[in-house]
Structure 1
Amino acid sequence: MNRDEPLLAEGKSLDNDSILQDPSYYINRELSWLQFNRHVLDEAKDKSHPLLERVKFLAIFSNNLDEFFMIRVSGLHRQLDEGVLKAPPDGLTPARILDKIYEDLFPLLEEQVTVWHDEIIPELREHGIVIHTYETLDEQQKRELRTYFIKEIFPVLTPLAFDKSHPFPFISNLALNLAIIVRERGGEEDLFARIKIPNKLFPRLLKIPGTDNGPRAPGGIELIFLEDVISSNLDLLFPGLEVRASYPFRVTRDADIEIEEDEADDLLTAVEESVGRRWVGVPSRIEVSSWMDQTVCGMMGEKLVKHPHMFYRIAGPIGMADLMCMLDLDRPDLKDAPFVPSIPKALENEKAIFNVIRSRDIMLFHPYESFQPVVNFLNQAAKDPDVLAIKMTLYRTGTRSPIVRALLDAREMGKAVSVVVELKARFDEENNIGWAKALEHAGVHVVFGIMGLKVHSKLCLVVRRERDGIVRYVHMGTGNYNASTARIYTDIGLFTANPEIGSDVSNLFNSLTGYSRYMAYNHLLVSPKYIRRGIISLIEREIKRQQEYRDGRIVLKLNAIQDEEMIQALYRASMAGVKIELQVRGICCLRPGIKGISDNISVSTIVGRFLEHSRIYYFHNGGDEIVLLGSSDLMPRNLNRRVEVLYPVLDSGIKKEIISEILPIHMRDTAKARVLGSDGIYHPRKSTNGDELINAQEWFLKHRGIWNQQAADEPEETGIERNGI
């Protein structure tokens, strides 16, 4: 058989063909995620970003790794402990994956430290921001810091000895510590102690109060790490002893919450108790300073290390996620220029919002367009005497949520308010517990999802009495109802009063809050079960179109593709000749460019100023194009273990906007896009023929608001040809 020809063009079915089981056709989930985090680190190196934004990317890189070790690596350790032998589609066992993580990650950590020391610190100094070590301080600064240490820091520190008569102290998750070696004066025996750095009580980077070198340059800022101040004043904590050395270190622990829902009398209490145990899980990583004495390493290893490759020696600051505090510095010249999200003209009048939505569907593309209309929608629903009920799903809402405030106001105004709060939203459990209690206290009907599933869908339903009867107004989104993240995540929200969509959403809420098993939705695809079936069906339809008319085409913009069945369906489509473009922000286990298997598939990713978060599914469907939006990626957890919703774009104008504007501009990005090769490595996409670089995010910042202000159907010419996808 000629492998240059599409396999399915000959009518051969490969649904069960073992050819698609080849492990070389799949990229490991964890290693793919590490590549995503490499892209974050690349942004820290990108000098087109303002300097403090580059520091932000260093912090995000570290924060991402913290969560990776708390959840994914700890999960691999559990698999080893439990003797799990079954490998994922890529064929790598848990032990081999852990080996590869260490091999791939260590160079990235070295690169991060190099960027910090060799690029960021010198450039900060050039801009009047000096990161000192204790040795570079002048005498006045040392005196000022010692005084500050005595008055403020010293009282909260607790040295803990560990030896034969003192047990090794418990090291809580992600707590920064100093391991200290002291001796009796004139003695020869080393004694060991540990001090927890109170970096939750004090800034990780302290501003230095004084200088002997005359007045600073205007706007100059001098900083020093908190642990450096403590380690340089240890003589006050160990009087009469010789302080021989101190070494920063940190332990990362298993923070995945496991709840036996069928055994829990009260899910709220069960989650609350589990969150409290998050900080005492089994260690998954030990970060130590690169200069730590081997004796101290050995002591910690004996107490903490259970698996190979848990030790990471770091030559720079440990816990660089704390560098995010530098974004609080009053240096707007070193940050991204602020922008004001636009509001579609039709939604400027809050009081008319129901009339506008009833007349036509409205799309919001965040963060380029403001999240405020969503808040206004709920605020107006709370005040409107004709609104009878509000129903909503909440996954991640933030700490000061105007959405929750509007729901509380609605309850005070006598509306029937029902909210599905997902208590098991990882790392947002405490926020959601707090909001659930506040809503319940106000008389809101609060439901904690469905046993065994997470409710991840993004839905809001407002029921309003009007002259011609009850009208249901719906907002559906690809992202959370979180006003803060709506400024940094790209997401799409849709307002509609379509009666069939309203009926679908009503039926879905009934299944979430009651015992309904309603499945015959008019338009929604709902997981578990039906998103998988629906997407597979649409892929198979494109295969059939390709075989008959040679015009099959699929474009997907997602956060992750991992599900084996979905990948195999896309491979079958490629083998049939269907042209497939994927833009996947994070994990992509599909390997493009394999001759005869996936050579009709291209995969790109964009990491930039904003976190790409929209989920868009496009199928050419012989010209009767289908566009779906929603909360679901193509991962087993989304398709099997979550309540997710994909919804169709029915409005022809909005559909055209997505097909001819949003998708193609992202797919043509040449400034921030990276393209995945068949070797599993991403490479920067280069512009061709001297074309101007296209930065999709910057382009939408400049143009999105302009287009929405226009009454005409056609957007104005902006210098980029938009021929659609």
Structure 2
Amino acid sequence: MNNTIASIPLCNREISWLFFNERVLQEAEDVSVPIIERIRFLGIFSSNLDEFYRVRVATITRLTHVNAKAKELLGFNPRAVLTEIQRKVIELERRFQRLYDVITLNELAARKIFILKENQLNVMRGNFVREYFQQKVLANLVPIMLSKKNGRFVIPELKDRRIYFFIRMSHKGKQVEHALLEIPTKLLGRFLVLPGERHLKYLILLDDVIRYCLDDLFFIFPHDRIEAYSFQMTRDSEMDLDVRMEEQVIDLISKSLKKRASGKPMRMLYDPEMPSDMLHQLALGLNLPPETFIAGTRYPNFKDFISFPDMGDPSLVYAPQKPLSVYGLRLDKSIFNQIRQKDYLVCLPYHPFDYIIHFLREAAMDTQVVSISITLYRLAENSKVINALINAARNGKKVFCMIELKARFDEEANIHWANVMSQAGVQVSVGQLDYKVHSKICLVARREGRRLAYYANLSTGNYNEHSSRQYSDASLFTTHAGICNDLKKVFRGLVNNKFFYSYKHLLVSPTTYRKEIYKLIDYEIAEAKKGRKASVILKMNSLSDEGLILKLYQASNAGVQIQLIVRGLCCLVPGQKRYSKNIRVVSIIDRYLEHMRVSIFYHGGEERVYLSSADMMTRNLEQRLEVGFPIYDQSVKVMLKTMIELQLKDNVKARIIDAKNSNSYLRHSSVNQVRSQEAIYDFLAGMHQHEG
């Protein structure tokens, strides 16, 4: 980090991320959100925090061993950051626990829904639970009986993010046995709906099903008391990749995945009701430092609560939104014929993913299609995208697929799909170890007369029909010659494992993206210095690249009006007199996960509008292959700008990002409430109605 960058105001990346996850927790606190959706937001909060520890805390922990000079280059003290992380996480976990208690004990109960513990079962429901335990659960339980060596329990290596019980059996006041037991949530559902009565509804967690029936498991040991307290370990998930040859990639990543499960422990969440002597025994046996232990909840691995049952009451969840058709684009006609006439933008999840599947399916069947080239990052479990590509290969098309094996936590699935496609005749590339291919692009070549015509799809999000129902993304269909020619160059580079350094239309990292973005911002700076209107609007998931932040500070000081919509972490500090007085930042957390990346530059009234797969992070600009693409069609540009304007007007779900990280809602006394996701749906629905 040079002296210029070191002197500018920056929020630490990890701390900023924790404030983002606090915004997720705010959704669980928002009483206007349907109650089961609030419980699911608790699950999202917990899942996010698990990944944070597996990746970011693991990285910071490694940095604690660097010397003073290295700390100066980093620009922060890793140990101090870890201390602040632990302080904030403990604060959020306590808030989480209080909220869970309020929702489950009061708000669900007010709706006649009860989550029962094992000591709250009557005879009828107890018999139901015991029968379920005997038929479904018992065969999946493998207790580990513990013995001591040198005064401490010998505990085997435990799996990452699995729930365990630490169990103590006593007889006539004396401890007789200790055991560990993994809760088989990977094999069984976490929730069991119990028989109801008089319009009352009940459910119990698998954890408490097992607690209720522990006597049936440990009957061979004499005991008159049995205690079971849960804990969960989160391990370092980063993979150590140190070879460069493509043919070794699959084998290397497969081996690294096996190591991930036994990575260094980053966090040990334990039931706060666990007696102190048992906690001490567990800590000794696991040989973990005190800072690893964090008091959690009775039910760790709260990620499962994302799948909390809806209990048969539609008022407890978001009402389903009817998928809208793209204005002017028909699914019962050739998609090639239609996009040959003009560009179309598919806005997920408001529009269905079917348009992308239709595009690939038609390409697979069309006898004039010669080739399909595509990059894939994360895929659905039963991927229709893969099926279409395999079908195309079987129909004699030349299919090239770059599938990124290093998509974090999707590596194993992507290895599987790479093998499936290779066996079906698809030309599969698994990329480079030095760079992730994070772009979402597809190019179809079709023989038309004596020439090849090209049809492109470029997206801000993954070719994943499952996540497309929860993620807000944009996917462009175009036949623009300049864009297609640049895409041909991108794919030529992927086939030949090389980068190109010049493109006429696309922004491509790691070679041209940063330079072109800087050039666009510099144009606004020059305009502002001439006293002309100058503005920049950027929407992204995360903003942490220090060079770009410095460029935005320079633009702000020149008088450029800058509006940022940042869902996640934001290292830029707005509202600073000497740096960012002309920068406004908001974050929107709502029903759908905001994932679209958009850049709008006023450019003297001839606006430049781009969509992109890239966030404004150093890794996206320098260590990944990303593609930003321009919007040339005027109707698509107006449509996209309207959606962004609605988000900038959001005064229901928008939070203000400021120097204090207060996460206050952008709300005022105006009667005109704008909830942007609902407003965007209504806007797109209005276009659909106009079409009819």
TM over 0.5: yes
The 1-side partners of 2:191 and 2:289 are apart by 33
Match of 1:175 in 2: 162
SS in 2 for 1:168: coil
Q: Residue 641 and residue 308 in structure 1: after superposition, are their counterparts in 2 closer, same or farther (change >3 A)? A: farther
User: Is the counterpart of residue 235 in structure 1 residue 235 in structure 2?
Assistant: no
1:96-117 Cα offsets, whole Å, 9 max, x none, are 1111111111121111111111
SS in 1 for 2:445: strand
The 2-side partners of 1:555 and 1:168 are apart by 54
Residues 199-278 of structure 1: pairs in structure 2 closer than 5 A = 199-209=185-195, 216-218=197-199, 220-238=200-218, 239-262=221-244, 265-278=247-260
Deviates more, 1:310-319 or 1:592-601: 310-319
Match of 1:346 in 2: 328
SS in 1 for 2:664: strand
2:411 to 429, 433, 444: 429
Contact 2:539 2:566 in 1 (8 A): yes
Q: Residue 529 and residue 88 in structure 1: after superposition, are their counterparts in 2 closer, same or farther (change >3 A)? A: farther
Residues 593-672 of structure 1: pairs in structure 2 closer than 5 A = 593-659=575-641, 661-672=642-653
SS in 1 for 2:473: strand
1:37 to 10, 18, 21: 21
User: Shift in Å at residue 283 of structure 1?
Assistant: 0.5
What is the one-letter code of the residue matched to 1:482?
N
1:103 to 74, 87, 95: 87
User: Shift in Å at residue 680 of structure 1?
Assistant: 3.2
Contact 2:14 2:56 in 1 (8 A): yes
SS in 2 for 1:684: coil
2:680 to 680, 700, 717: 700
1:193 to 165, 179, 182: 179
User: Shift in Å at residue 156 of structure 1?
Assistant: 2.5
User: Shift in Å at residue 20 of structure 1?
Assistant: 5.0
SS in 1 for 2:70: coil
SS in 1 for 2:474: strand
Contact 1:350 1:377 in 2 (8 A): no
Contact 2:118 2:211 in 1 (8 A): no
User: Shift in Å at residue 457 of structure 1?
Assistant: 0.4
The 1-side partners of 2:198 and 2:154 are apart by 50
What is the one-letter code of the residue matched to 1:195?
L
The 1-side partners of 2:554 and 2:468 are apart by 36
The 2-side partners of 1:594 and 1:19 are apart by 16
The 1-side partners of 2:223 and 2:537 are apart by 68
Match of 2:657 in 1: 676
Match of 1:416 in 2: 398
1:138-167 Cα offsets, whole Å, 9 max, x none, are 123223323332343233322212222572
Contact 2:36 2:310 in 1 (8 A): no
User: Shift in Å at residue 347 of structure 1?
Assistant: 2.1
What is the one-letter code of the residue matched to 2:571?
C
User: Is the counterpart of residue 525 in structure 1 residue 507 in structure 2?
Assistant: yes
1:40-84 Cα offsets, whole Å, 9 max, x none, are 111111122212111111111111111111111111222224668
The 2-side partners of 1:19 and 1:393 are apart by 38
Match of 2:517 in 1: 535
User: Shift in Å at residue 530 of structure 1?
Assistant: 1.1
What is the one-letter code of the residue matched to 1:454?
K
SS in 2 for 1:569: helix
Match of 1:22 in 2: 7
Match of 2:356 in 1: 374
SS in 2 for 1:546: helix
Contact 2:331 2:355 in 1 (8 A): no
The 1-side partners of 2:124 and 2:206 are apart by 18
Match of 1:326 in 2: 308
CA RMSD after TM alignment = 2.2
The 2-side partners of 1:637 and 1:88 are apart by 21
Contact 1:449 1:513 in 2 (8 A): no
User: Shift in Å at residue 186 of structure 1?
Assistant: 4.2
1:423-478 Cα offsets, whole Å, 9 max, x none, are 10001112211111110010000001123000000100000011252100000011
Deviates more, 1:66-75 or 1:437-446: 66-75
The 2-side partners of 1:39 and 1:255 are apart by 25
User: Shift in Å at residue 120 of structure 1?
Assistant: 3.7
The 2-side partners of 1:703 and 1:545 are apart by 33
Contact 1:364 1:494 in 2 (8 A): yes
SS in 2 for 1:549: coil
Contact 1:180 1:192 in 2 (8 A): yes
Tell me how many residue pairs correspond in the alignment: 687
User: Shift in Å at residue 634 of structure 1?
Assistant: 0.8
Match of 1:48 in 2: 32
Match of 2:547 in 1: 565
- Normalising by structure 1, report the TM-score: 0.91
The 2-side partners of 1:420 and 1:186 are apart by 65
SS in 1 for 2:347: strand
SS in 2 for 1:506: helix
Contact 1:351 1:380 in 2 (8 A): no
Q: Residue 399 and residue 299 in structure 1: after superposition, are their counterparts in 2 closer, same or farther (change >3 A)? A: same
Contact 1:77 1:307 in 2 (8 A): no
1:380-424 Cα offsets, whole Å, 9 max, x none, are 111111101000000011111111111111111111100000010
The 2-side partners of 1:274 and 1:419 are apart by 23
Match of 1:117 in 2: 101
SS in 2 for 1:195: strand
The 2-side partners of 1:78 and 1:305 are apart by 18
User: Is the counterpart of residue 547 in structure 1 residue 529 in structure 2?
Assistant: yes
Unaligned runs of 5+ in 2: none
Match of 1:723 in 2: none
The 1-side partners of 2:502 and 2:76 are apart by 40
User: Shift in Å at residue 278 of structure 1?
Assistant: 1.8
Deviates more, 1:698-707 or 1:562-571: 698-707
SS in 1 for 2:267: strand
Residues 288-327 of structure 1: pairs in structure 2 closer than 5 A = 288-304=270-286, 306-327=288-309
What is the one-letter code of the residue matched to 2:557?
M
Match of 1:66 in 2: 50
Contact 1:264 1:270 in 2 (8 A): no
Deviates more, 1:231-240 or 1:82-91: 82-91
User: Shift in Å at residue 121 of structure 1?
Assistant: 3.6
SS in 2 for 1:266: helix
User: Shift in Å at residue 89 of structure 1?
Assistant: 8.5
1:94 to 78, 84, 89: 78
The 2-side partners of 1:680 and 1:85 are apart by 29
The 2-side partners of 1:412 and 1:709 are apart by 40
Deviates more, 1:666-675 or 1:169-178: 169-178
The 2-side partners of 1:66 and 1:85 are apart by 31
Contact 1:459 1:476 in 2 (8 A): yes
Q: Residue 672 and residue 598 in structure 1: after superposition, are their counterparts in 2 closer, same or farther (change >3 A)? A: same
The 2-side partners of 1:534 and 1:605 are apart by 25
